[in-house]
Amino acid sequence: MSDLWRRCLERLEGELSAEDVHTWLMPLQPREDPTGLFLYAPNPYSLDTVREQYLVKIQSIVEHLTGRALPVRLEVGSSGGRPAPMRPASATHASTPASPRAPEAAPEPPHVHNLDPHYTFETFVEGKSNQLGKAAAMQVAMNPGRAYNPLLLYGGTGLGKTHLMHAAGNLLMQNNPGAKVLYLRSEQFVSGMVKALQQKNMDDFKRRFRSVDALLIDDIQFFAGKDTTQEEFFHTFNALFEAKQQIILTCDRYPKELDKLEPRLKSRLGWGLSVAIEPPDFETRAAILLSKAADKGMEVSEDVAMLLARRIRSNVRDLEGALNTLAARANFYRKPITTDFAEETLRDLLNTHAQAVTVPNIQKTVADYYQVRLSDLLSKRRVRSLARPRQVAMALSKELTEHSLPEIGEAFGGRDHTTVLHACRTIRGFCEKDVRMRQDWEQLIRILTG
């Protein structure tokens, strides 16, 4: 580091808070030459703040230290012209533009696919909740543009939609090495378009997207309310569809339920196949944990995996967080991960998950969901409009809490444990036969555990 800047920083550290120093001044990279002191800011936002709030002070300290009016110049970039950090698997990834890095990465040219090579079908843990999605994604990868177009995977956050999408892209490229596949998060599509509009090169933008063999866009729910984006996406969609180029999309819900999405776009999305990815069941959660643990080189027994899978139901990311937390502690203490060790380590974490779901909480959520009064739900009345939600609430209490059948019966206005058992069986039967019921059930679980 430039000696002048180091001494300047020492002075500033004495005058400013550590927070300000580390937010604005430490990130600056200095370069000193006879014509002045150059300070490179990591981004335009920092540059503006430094210029407005600190430049005068820096100049006066520099003048004081050198005894002359040495110019101080601010620029965005890095002092050594150091390239931006590479992604971990740089060979197959897009590299980000070299410094100065733009604050928002523009969509890369189509030959850069953005696929993560770690996301393959082999590393995807299959269960009842996602087997349909997996089968469809494989079909599409093997018959791009012909099997299902578009393929739309929808479901809550952290359930593996992105994994399947990358896996399809990776398999497609493996089978057709020359194929141009492009994966983008929806926000990259939006910001790429905004940039193209600003720079008046929409033609390039259109060409870039329409020349690919497969376009994969993640989280299209974020297109909602962005009319110009939807318009452009609509045309891109049509062009790709007509040329039999594959489109794969993900969304956090069934697109027809998305507000602020143009009807004509909604209808296009329904042309191909839409598959729900549901929260994994207990066995799948345990299998996912074991697979992730193996991936991280951790030794985790089935008992530990089952302990975590029983307590954490919300989504795969929370399972991963639990595993990461466990790894940090096991590495630090150099201890094997036993169930006791897992219990102890994750007490805080598991408590937050367990606490969230209580029987009163379930009763209230179910009452809200079916728009019935809580007092009616707990009453003795047996009309159908109350009986069904009551059974759902009982079955959820069995599924999501550690309470026994008699305890649950007690909490529902002093009912017998056989009534609760009957409710659990009835609802399970309904879920298998009735799509609507299964959606309600999954949705309630998401609300309660999300």
Partner 1 sequence: MTPQLPLALRWPRRQRFEHFHPGDNAVAVEAVRAAAVDPSAPWVFLAGPLGSGRTHLLIAACQAAIDAGRTAQYLPLAGLRGSRAVAIRGMAGSDVLAIDDIDSIAGEDDAEHALFDTFNRYRADGCTLLFSATGAPVSLDIALPDLRSRLGSLTQAVLKPLADAERRGVLREQAAARGIELDDVVLDWLFAHHARDLGTLLDLLDTLDRASLAAQRRVTVPFLRNLLKDD
What residue numbers does the annotated binding site for ATP cover?
A: 158, 160-162
Handedness of CA 273, 286, 421, 417 (dihedral sign): negative
Q: Is 157 in the site for partner 1 (CB under 8 A)?
A: yes
The least CB distance from residue 357 to partner 1, in Å, is 11
- Give the long-range contacts of residues 237-241, CB within 8 A, separation 24 or more: 237/150, 237/265, 237/268, 238/268, 239/210, 240/209, 240/210, 240/212, 240/215, 241/149, 241/150, 241/268, 241/271
According to CB under 8 A, which one of 33, 122, 203, 348 is a site residue for partner 1? 348
Helices (H) and strands (E) in the chain, counts: 21, 8
Q: Which residues of 87-99 are buried (b: 16+ CB within 10 A; e: fewer)?
A: eeeeeebbeeeeb
Tell me whether residue 78 or residue 149 sits nearer to partner 1 (CB atom).
78
- Cα–Cα distance between 160 and 156 in angstroms, integer? 9
Task: Give the range of 63-71, 84-92, 238-246, 301-309 binding partner 1 by CB under 8 A.
Answer: 84-92
Give which of 198, 269, 190, 256 is closest to 223, Cα–Cα: 190
Residues 6+ positions from 436 with CB-CB distance below 8 Å: none
The least CB distance from residue 42 to partner 1, in Å, is 3
The least CB distance from residue 155 to partner 1, in Å, is 11
Task: Give the range of 98-106, 257-265, 369-377, 385-393 binding partner 1 by CB under 8 A.
Answer: 98-106
Q: Is 401 in the site for partner 1 (CB under 8 A)?
A: no
Q: Is 97 in the site for partner 1 (CB under 8 A)?
A: no
Give which of 259, 251, 311 is closest to 286, Cα–Cα: 311
Angle between helices 435-449 and 347-356 (to 10 degrees): 130
According to CB under 8 A, which one of 111, 235, 256, 317 is a site residue for partner 1? 317
Q: Is 364 in the site for partner 1 (CB under 8 A)?
A: no
H helices of 157-262, in order, are 161-175, 186-198, 202-210, 227-242
Tell me whether residue 149 or residue 284 sits nearer to partner 1 (CB atom).
284
Tell me whether residue 265 or residue 298 sits nearer to partner 1 (CB atom).
298
Tell me whether residue 246 or residue 314 sits nearer to partner 1 (CB atom).
314
Number of residues engaging partner 1 in binding (CB under 8 A): 62
According to CB under 8 A, which one of 50, 114, 268, 390 is a site residue for partner 1? 114
Q: Mask of contacts with partner 1, 194-223, x by CB under 8 A?
A: -------------------------x--x-
According to CB under 8 A, which one of 8, 30, 61, 78 is a site residue for partner 1? 78
Residues 262-301 that bind partner 1 (CB under 8 A): none
The least CB distance from residue 260 to partner 1, in Å, is 14
- Cα–Cα distance between 111 and 24 in angstroms, integer? 37
Q: Is 98 in the site for partner 1 (CB under 8 A)?
A: no
- Cα–Cα distance between 258 and 416 in angstroms, integer? 42
Tell me whether residue 284 or residue 391 sits nearer to partner 1 (CB atom).
284
Return the bridge partners of 183, or none.
216
The least CB distance from residue 48 to partner 1, in Å, is 9
User: Cα dist. 50→188, 205, 213 in Å?
Assistant: 28, 34, 45
Tell me whether residue 320 or residue 410 sits nearer to partner 1 (CB atom).
320
- Cα–Cα distance between 294 and 323 in angstroms, integer? 11
Structure tokens, 317: 């990311």
According to CB under 8 A, which one of 349, 372, 374, 437 is a site residue for partner 1? 349
